[in-house]
Structure 1
Amino acid sequence: MGAAAFAALAGDRAGLPGDPALLLIRKGDPILVSFAAASGDPEAYGDDVAVFDLLRRGRREDLAFGFGVHRCLGAPLARIEAGVALAGLFDRFPGLTLAAPADGIEPVESFIVNGYGSLPVLRAQQ
C-alpha cells in the first residue's frame, strides 16, 4: 500500500496564491501533504467534487496511484481488475442498491484518506 500522506520540512521560503500573511511557508516549516485532498478543488472540478460518484466522467487526473517516477507500476492492472470486478458484481447482482440513504453512510474519520468504513447494500429478489 502506498503512502496516503507524507510530512516534510520546507526547504525554501515559498508563497501560495491568496493572502500572503496566511499562505507563507517559511524555510523549515512543517508541511503535511495529503493525497486525499488531491483533485478536490470545486473551482477546477465542479461543485459536486466531494460527492462519491463511481460513474463520474472526465475526472482521470488523480493521485491514487502516485505521480511521475513514483507512479505505481501496477496502476493499469489495478484499474482493469477494478473494472472487471465491478462489472462482474453488477452483472451478478443487477438490482444492487444502497441499504441506507447515501447521506447517512458515515465516512471514515481521517484527514489522510477518503472513504467509507462500510457500504451496506441490498440485492433485489430474483
Structure 2
Amino acid sequence: MRSVEINRDMDAKKKLIMTLYWINRKTATIEGCAPFLIRRIKTEENTLLAEEGKFLKFSENVLGDVLTNMEDLKLVEFDINFGKEDIRASIYENTLSVSLSRTKELEDEIIEKLKQESERKYPHVCSKFHKRLGIYNKY
C-alpha cells in the first residue's frame, strides 16, 4: 500500500473525483477497457455493497455521506475491481492510500500522479468522468 498527503485546501468533491479518476486512468494502462467497478464504499456510519455484476454509483445520499466524512477528516474506504485488478483505496484526514492486488508498481505511478494533481489549482480530470460515477453536479 502506498500513501500520499494531498492538498488540504482542496474541496472534498474534487479530492474524491480526482482520486477515482487517476486510479481509473492509470489502471486502464494495464487492464484496458475492462469495467471500473466500485464494489464497496465504507464510511464511519455506513457500508455500501454493490449488487453482483454491478457497481456503486454516487447517488445524492451516498455522495453526501462520503463527502461529509471526508470533510470531517474521517476514514472513507473504497474496494474497486478493474478487470483482473482489485484495488483498495482510502482517504483519511488528508492522506490518500492505494493498494493494488496484482500490479504493485502501478501504486507508485498512481500516488505520484495524485501528488502532482493535488498541487494544481485545477486538477486534470476528464470532464465526463464525474457523470460515470453518478455525480451530476460537477465541482
Q: Taking structure 2 as the reference length, what is the TM-score of the superposition?
A: 0.27
Q: Taking structure 1 as the reference length, what is the TM-score of the superposition?
A: 0.29
Q: Would you tell me which structure has more strand in proportion to its own residues?
A: 2
Q: Which has the higher contact order (CA 8 A, sep 6+)?
A: 2
